[in-house]
């Protein structure tokens, strides 16, 4: 799929799924604005990838996001795709979860997605086209013990996805909004799980393995391309059949 000269914004693009998505898009000739709080890793990635433009930013900082908007207006004529991928986990059972841990996960995973989309949607409304891809999770659909905060944030992203798909087309704009709901993917977030837990997950999957970040990147690439031009408002699970 050729995305030549497409301007793609990816949050959480310094590592894991976000970095894999960035690589996949660059392989297909896109220009990626890579957003993360981790400036050091962003700059290291820049030396590895052509058309990877580091932009250090905390997506809970609304003023910083406005500065990003100014940067985009000054350097690019358009924005084609926004991929809301940034997220953290701070797991614990409900009665042990600290209020700060709840707030931190909601602020980054949910509020950050809201703030980024609110600002970048101004470009899409003016252009009368655009594409938003949110990274949710199957735990936002199914729930998961020990993840009250993460489940709530990812469920909220699903609700926002469906709402934005309706709201951003009220004047017949060609703005599509979809979400990907990954299952257990091999990233730094799953590295801390015990081998026993991972084996149980694999056993429950119809496809007997953990997912790879590339599995998510491949779907993101499809959703960003014209090949998915009639798909919007959808929540697409990529979980190896874990949740059926």
Question: Is 185 a known ligand-binding residue?
Answer: yes
Domain-located, residue 244: no
Question: What is the structure's pLDDT at 68?
Answer: 98
Assigned domain for 2 exists: no
Specify if 102 maps to a domain.
Answer: yes
Q: What does the pLDDT read at residue 234?
A: 98
The answer to whether residue 150 is catalytic is: yes
Predicted local confidence at residue 135, as pLDDT: 98
Within a domain: 117: yes
Give me the number of domains the chain comprises.
1
Q: Is residue 166 part of a domain?
A: yes
- Domain membership flag for residue 132: yes
* pLDDT tens-digit profile, the chain (244 residues): 789 999 999 999 999 999 999 999 999 999 999 999 999 999 999 999 999 999 999 999 999 999 999 999 999 999 999 999 999 999 999 999 999 999 999 999 999 999 999 999 999 999 999 999 999 999 999 999 999 999 999 999 999 999 999 999 999 999 999 999 999 998 877 777 778 888 888 999 999 999 999 999 999 999 999 999 999 999 999 999 999 8
Residue 96 lies in a domain: yes
143 is in an annotated binding site: no
15 is in an annotated binding site: yes
Spot the catalytic one: 52, 55, 129, 150: 150
Supply the CATH number for residue 104's domain.
3.40.50.720
Domain boundaries, position 147: 7-238
154 belongs to an annotated ligand binding site: yes
Supply the DSSP string of the chain, one letter for each residue: ---TT-EEEEETTTSHHHHHHHHHHHHTT-EEEEEES-HHHHHHHHHH-TTEEEEE--TT-HHHHHHHHHHHHHH-S---EEEE-------B-GGG--HHHHHHHIIIIIIHHHHHHHHHHHHHHHHTEEEEEEE--THHHH--TTBHHHHHHHHHHHHHHHHHHHHTTTT--EEEEEEEEE-SBSSTTTTTS-HHHHHHHHHHSSSSS-B-HHHHHHHHHHHHSGGGTT--S-EEEESTTTT-
């Amino acid at each position: 799929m050729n995305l030549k000269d497409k301007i793609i914004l990816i949050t959480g693009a310094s590592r894991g799924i976000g970095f894999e998505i960035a690589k996949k898009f660059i392989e297909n000739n896109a220009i990626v604005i890579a957003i993360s709080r981790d400036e050091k890793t962003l700059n290291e990635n820049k030396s590895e990838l052509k058309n990877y433009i580091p932009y250090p930013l905390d997506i809970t900082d609304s003023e910083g996001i406005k500065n990003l908007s100014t940067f985009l207006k000054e350097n690019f004529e358009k924005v084609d795709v926004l991929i809301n991928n940034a997220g953290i986990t701070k797991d614990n059972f409900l009665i042990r979860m600290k209020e700060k841990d709840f707030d931190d996960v909601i602020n980054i995973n949910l509020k950050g997605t809201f703030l980024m989309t609110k600002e970048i949607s101004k470009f899409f409304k003016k252009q009368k086209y655009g594409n938003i891809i949110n990274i949710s999770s199957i735990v936002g659909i199914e729930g998961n013990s020990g993840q009250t905060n993460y489940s709530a944030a990812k469920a909220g992203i699903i609700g926002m996805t469906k709402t934005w798909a309706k709201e951003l087309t009220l004047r017949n704009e060609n703005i599509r909004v979809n979400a990907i709901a990954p299952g257990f993917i091999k990233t730094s977030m799953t590295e801390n799980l015990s081998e026993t837990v991972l084996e149980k997950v694999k056993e429950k999957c119809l496809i007997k393995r953990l997912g790879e970040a590339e599995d998510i990147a491949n779907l993101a690439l499809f959703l960003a391309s014209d090949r998915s031009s009639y798909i919007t408002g959808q929540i697409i699970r990529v979980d190896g059949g874990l949740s059926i």
